[in-house]
C-alpha cells in the first residue's frame, strides 16, 4: 500500500506531521509512506528518510524562479512540474492525505491521481473537503486569527482516523542544555539581550552543566557578535536532532526545534510570544512547559508585523522568571512532579489538556 | 583554434542542462562550441543564427552522431513564424553562445525572447494571444496548454 502525505508548510509543521506518520504506521503496518515537501526544505530529507520510504521535493521555488527568468522558456516551470508529477505517480497511489490545507496543496491534490484522497482538494472548478467533519474544524479554526480548543496533531489524527499518543519527555541526566533563541518571525523572538543574560545566569547557576546556544548556519552571523564562538553550536537540523537526543533540556522560542525535541523526547521549555499559539502548535510532549505572555493582543496574526509601539509580550517575561523556572524544572525527576516553584506568578503559563475523548469533544465542538 | 576549443569547453561547463529538453544553441560563431556540445550531449540540437550562412552550410555537411546531429537554422530577429514550426511540440532549452553576439546583441536578444515567449511586442506575443484557449487567463503561458492539468499547474505556481 502506498500512502503519500502532503506536508507543504514549514519545517516545524512537517516535524509535527511525523506524529501522523507514526499513527498511520500503526493502522497500516505494511504501508509505504511518502512525503511531499517544498523544495526549499531539502535539508529535511535525511531526518524524514528515517521514518518514511521516500521524500519528494515539490519544485515550487525552482518553478517560481524560472517564471521570473527571461532566459528560460515561459512554459519551462509547467514542463518541470509535469515531469515531477509523472515521477511521483510512477506507481499507483492508494491514499493521498493533504496535511497542509493551503491553495497550493489543494491544487496539487487535484492533480494527483489516487484511489483515495483525504483533505482539501481543488480541481475542475471545485473546492472540496474530502473526509470527516474534522476537516471543517481544521479549516475554520486553524486559519490565522482563530482559536482552537485542540492541538493541530490531535485534529489531524481525527481527520486521518488514526490514534496518535502523546509521548512523555525523558528525564535525562546528561548535564547538557541547549538554548535556541531565534525563531522564524521577529514577533516570536524574545529579545536577544535577554537570551544573553539568561545564558550567563544559567552558566553561573549551573556550573556542572554544558550549556550551548544553538544556531543554524544562517543564524550564525546574527548570534556571533553576542555570544562567543565556543558558546555557539552551529548545527544542521540533522545534527541538532542528534544533539537533542542526549540533552536534558531545550529552552527555545516557538521554533521547529521544539517539534524536533518532541521527536527526541527532550524536555522543552518554550517561550510563546507574538503569534505563537501553544494550544494549536505547542510541543506535543507530556512534560514540556510553555511560558506564554499574557498580552491582550496575543496570539496575533502571524502574517502581520507587531502593531504595538513596543513588543509588549516579549517585555512581559523576565529573565529571572525563565531562570527560576528552568532551575526548578531541572530538579524534577518526574514529569508529574513538576510545579512552578517560585515561578507561579509567571504570566499565563499555559497547560494543554490532551484530547481524551475526541469523539465526545467533537460532538460538542462541531 | 586551440584557444577557441578552450573557450568552447569553458562555455559548456558553465551551462545547466535540463534533462529531456531539446537543446537550442543561439549563436553559431565559428561553430567549435557546437562540436563540443554535440560531443558531450545526447539528443537533438538546433543551432539558430541570423548570420553566417556559409559556416552554417559547412556545419550542416559535417557528420555528427546521428542522434545529436545538429540542425542549423538561419533566422532573422523577429521572424518568429520561422522558429515556431521548428520547435512546435518540443520542450526545449535555449543556450546562449554570447561570444558571437558582438554587434548583433539586440537581434540575438530578440530571438531569445521570441523563443522563450517572453517578447511582448514580437509576433510571438500575437501568436500567443491568438492561440489562447477560452479560459479566463491573463498569462501568455497558457498557449499550447489546453490540457486542464497544465492550466491547473499554471495557477498553482502563480
Which CATH number characterizes residue A82's domain? Answer: 3.40.50.2000
pLDDT greater than 60 at residue B158: no
Count the domains in chain A. 2
B contact test, residue of A38, A63, A78, A122 with most B CBs within 10 A: A78
pLDDT greater than 80 at residue A1: yes
Residues across chain A? 366
Pick A104's closest partner by Cβ from B91, B113, B156: B156
| Torsion on CA atoms A162, A168, A169, A170, rounded to nearest 10 | -120
Q: Identify the domain boundary among A138, A165, A192.
A: A165
Burial A289-310 (b: 16+ CB within 10 A, else e): bbbbbebeebbbeeeeebeeee
Name the minimum distance, in Å, from the CA of B115 to any CA of chain A: 7
Judge whether A356 lies within some domain.
Answer: no
Judge whether A360 lies within some domain.
Answer: no
Whole-number pLDDT of residue A98: 97
- Looking at the structure, tell me whether residues A285 and A203 fall in a common domain: yes
- Looking at the structure, tell me whether residues A193 and A211 fall in a common domain: yes
A71–B94 C-beta distance less than 8 A: yes
- Looking at the structure, tell me whether residues A6 and A96 fall in a common domain: yes
- Can you tell me the distance from the alpha carbon of A78 to that of B13, in angstroms, rounded to the nearest whole number? 26
Position with higher pLDDT, B122 vs A34: A34
Under the banding of pLDDT at 50, 70 and 90, the label for residue A352 is: very low
A74–B116 C-beta distance less than 8 A: yes
- Can you tell me the distance from the alpha carbon of A284 to that of A260, in angstroms, rounded to the nearest whole number? 10
- Looking at the structure, tell me whether residues A158 and A216 fall in a common domain: no
Q: Please state, rounded to an integer, the average pLDDT across all residues of chain B.
A: 71
Whole-number pLDDT of residue A358: 40
| Max CA separation in chain B (angstroms) | 55
pLDDT greater than 50 at residue B12: yes
DSSP conformation letters of B41-108: --S-EEEE-SS-HHHHHHHHTS---TTT-EEEE---TT-HHHHHHHHTT--EEEEE-GGG-TT-HHHH
In the block, which residue shows the cell 505547542? A282
Judge whether A359 lies within some domain.
Answer: no
Average pLDDT on A352-363 reads 40
Chains A–B, number of C-beta pairs less than 8 Å apart:
69
- Looking at the structure, tell me whether residues A130 and A149 fall in a common domain: yes
Q: Where in chain B is the domain with CATH 3.40.50.150?
A: 2-116
Whole-number pLDDT of residue B126: 52
Pick B153's closest partner by Cβ from A70, A111, A124: A111
Judge whether A358 lies within some domain.
Answer: no
Q: Identify the domain boundary among A124, A139, A165.
A: A165
- Can you tell me the distance from the alpha carbon of A174 to that of A80, in angstroms, rounded to the nearest whole number? 48
Q: Name the residue range of residue A302's domain.
A: 169-350
Under the banding of pLDDT at 50, 70 and 90, the label for residue A58 is: very high
Do B112 and B94 contact (CB within 8 A), yes or no? yes
- Looking at the structure, tell me whether residues A343 and A245 fall in a common domain: yes
Contacts of B144 in chain A (CB under 8 A): 75
How high is the ipTM of this complex? 0.70
Look up residue B142 and give its DSSP letter.
G
B2-116: what CATH class?
Answer: alpha beta
pLDDT greater than 60 at residue B127: no
Judge whether A33 lies within some domain.
Answer: yes
**pLDDT tens by residue, A89-110:** 999 999 999 999 889 999 999 9
Judge whether A364 lies within some domain.
Answer: no
Amino acid at each position: 500500500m502506498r500512502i503519500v502525505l502532503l506536508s507543504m508548510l514549514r519545517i516545524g509543521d512537517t516535524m509535527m506531521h511525523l506524529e501522523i506518520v507514526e499513527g498511520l504506521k500503526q493502522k497500516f503496518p505494511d504501508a509505504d509512506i511518502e512525503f511531499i515537501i517544498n523544495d526549499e526544505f531539502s535539508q529535511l530529507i535525511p531526518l524524514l528518510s528515517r521514518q518514511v520510504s521516500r521524500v519528494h521535493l515539490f519544485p515550487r521555488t525552482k518553478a517560481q524562479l524560472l517564471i521570473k527568468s527571461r532566459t528560460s522558456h515561459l512554459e519551462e516551470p509547467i514542463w518541470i512540474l509535469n515531469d515531477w508529477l509523472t515521477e511521483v505517480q510512477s506507481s499507483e497511489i492508494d491514499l493521498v492525505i493533504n496535511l497542509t490545507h493551503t491553495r497550493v496543496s489543494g491544487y496539487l491534490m487535484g492533480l494527483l491521481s489516487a484511489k483515495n484522497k483525504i483533505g482539501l482538494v481543488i480541481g475542475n472548478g471545485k473546492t472540496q473537503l474530502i473526509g470527516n467533519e474534522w476537516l471543517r474544524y481544521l479549516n475554520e479554526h486553524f486559519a490565522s486569527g482563530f482559536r482552537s480548543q485542540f492541538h493541530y496533531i490531535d485534529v489531524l489524527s481525527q481527520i486521518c482516523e488514526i490514534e496518535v499518543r502523546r509521548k512523555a519527555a525523558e528525564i535525562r541526566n546528561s548535564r547538557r542544555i541547549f538554548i535556541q533563541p531565534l525563531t522564524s518571525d521577529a514577533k516570536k523572538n524574545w529579545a536577544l539581550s535577554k537570551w544573553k543574560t539568561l545564558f550567563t545566569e544559567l552558566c553561573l547557576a549551573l556550573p556542572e552543566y554544558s550549556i550551548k546556544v544553538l544556531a543554524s548556519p544562517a543564524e550564525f552571523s546574527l548570534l556571533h557578535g553576542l555570544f562567543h564562538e565556543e558558546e555557539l553550536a552551529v548545527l544542521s537540523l540533522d545534527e541538532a536532532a542528534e544533539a537533542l537526543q542526549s540533552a536534558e533540556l531545550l529552552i527555545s522560542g516557538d521554533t521547529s526545534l521544539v517539534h524536533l525535541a518532541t521527536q527526541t523526547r527532550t524536555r522543552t521549555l518554550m517561550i510563546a510570544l507574538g503569534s505563537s499559539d501553544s494550544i494549536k502548535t505547542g510541543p506535543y510532549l507530556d512534560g514540556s512547559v510553555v511560558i506564554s505572555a499574557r498580552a491582550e493582543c496575543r496570539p496575533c496574526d502571524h502574517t502581520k508585523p507587531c502593531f504595538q509601539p513596543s513588543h509588549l509580550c516579549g517585555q512581559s517575561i523576565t529573565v529571572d522568571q525563565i531562570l527560576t523556572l528552568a532551575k526548578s524544572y531541572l530538579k524534577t525527576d518526574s514529569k508529574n512532579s513538576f510545579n512552578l516553584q517560585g515561578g507561579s506568578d509567571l504570566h499565563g503559563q499555559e497547560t494543554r489538556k490532551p484530547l481524551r475523548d475526541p469523539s465526545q469533544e467533537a460532538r460538542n465542538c462541531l | 583554434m586551440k584557444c577557441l576549443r578552450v573557450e568552447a569547453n569553458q562555455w559548456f561547463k558553465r551551462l545547466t542542462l535540463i534533462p529531456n529538453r531539446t537543446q537550442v544553441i543561439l549563436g553559431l560563431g565559428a561553430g567549435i562550441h557546437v562540436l563540443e556540445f554535440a560531443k558531450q550531449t545526447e539528443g537533438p540540437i538546433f543551432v539558430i543564427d541570423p548570420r553566417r550562412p556559409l559556416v552554417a552550410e559547412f556545419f550542416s555537411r559535417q557528420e555528427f552522431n546521428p542522434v545529436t546531429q545538429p540542425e542549423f537554422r538561419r533566422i532573422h530577429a523577429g521572424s518568429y513564424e520561422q522558429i515556431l514550426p521548428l520547435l512546435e511540440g518540443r520542450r526545449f532549452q535555449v543556450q546562449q553562445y554570447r561570444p558571437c553576439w558582438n554587434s548583433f546583441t539586440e537581434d540575438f536578444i530578440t530571438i531569445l525572447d521570441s523563443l522563450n515567449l517572453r517578447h511582448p511586442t514580437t509576433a510571438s506575443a500575437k501568436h500567443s494571444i491568438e492561440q489562447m484557449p477560452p479560459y479566463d487567463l491573463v498569462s501568455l503561458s497558457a498557449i499550447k496548454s489546453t490540457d486542464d492539468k497544465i492550466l491547473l499547474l499554471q495557477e498553482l505556481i502563480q
